[in-house]
């Protein structure tokens, strides 16, 4: 399939986001966080749609060096949307207008004590991307059609859990949950399918 960075694809995906029956984590047992699946034009000249993925800085206290969507913990009284856009600017220097938010997917509870809310947004111009080296080691544009390939999503079993561990293969790299679970649900939405991911497991190294 082809997913060109075009007004037509944006309109179709916005409609799917608007119709998505989101599941909200209820309760106060988990801290709240938000991430943003930022749709931009691929940087390979293909004209395809991509999303921004980062590699966390090595000096961070938690989950250093792991792959992640831009995002972080919500401040007191802060909406998920505002938190996600604030983190995008802090990490990558990108300002995204609130009206470019297309929708919100399911909350994903993590082993480390968070409920992560993924925001889907469209950014016409990502040329001003500037990494914050305190938080981000590198940033990458991952083409949407790549995560829609048949072997991009992989599941495995581990002795520590009855739930399957999900990972996303991107080239020679493997992205693990929670990021993999959020990317998988987004992939399913692109394909016009509703797939729940809260029951998908993280690898043991991400539990802390």
pLDDT tens across 7-52, in order? 999 999 999 999 999 999 887 688 999 999 999 999 999 999 999 9
State pLDDT tens for residues 98-116. Answer: 999 999 999 999 988 899 9
pLDDT band at 143 (very low <50, low <70, confident <90, very high): very high
pLDDT for res 57: 67
Contact 168, 152 (CB under 8 A): yes
> Which pTM does this prediction carry?
0.93
pLDDT for res 61: 54
Place of tokens 């739930």: 163
State pLDDT tens for residues 49-67. Answer: 999 999 876 465 555 457 8
**42-64-139 Cα angle (round to 5):** 15
pLDDT for res 37: 98
58/12 Cα distance (integer angstroms): 38
3-state SS assignment for residue 125: coil
pLDDT for res 144: 97
């Amino acid at each position: 399939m082809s997913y060109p960075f075009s007004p037509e694809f944006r309109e179709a995906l916005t409609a799917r986001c608007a119709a998505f029956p989101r599941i909200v984590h209820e309760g106060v047992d988990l801290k709240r966080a938000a991430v943003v699946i930022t749709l931009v034009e691929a940087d390979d000249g293909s004209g395809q749609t991509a999303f921004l993925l980062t590699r966390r800085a090595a000096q961070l206290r938690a989950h250093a060096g792991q792959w992640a969507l831009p995002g972080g913990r919500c401040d007191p009284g802060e909406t998920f949307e505002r938190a996600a856009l604030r983190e995008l600017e802090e990490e990558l220097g990108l300002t995204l207008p609130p009206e470019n938010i297309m929708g919100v997917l399911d909350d994903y509870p993590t082993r480390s004590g968070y409920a992560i809310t993924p925001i889907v947004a469209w950014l016409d111009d990502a040329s001003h991307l500037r990494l914050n080296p305190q938080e981000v080691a590198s940033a990458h544009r991952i083409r949407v059609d790549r995560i829609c390939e048949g072997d991009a999503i992989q599941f495995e079993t581990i002795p520590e859990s009855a739930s399957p561990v999900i990972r996303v293969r991107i080239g020679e790299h493997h992205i693990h949950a929670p990021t993999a679970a959020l990317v998988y649900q987004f992939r399913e939405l692109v394909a016009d399918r509703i797939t729940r991911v809260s029951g998908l497991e993280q690898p043991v190294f991400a539990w802390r």
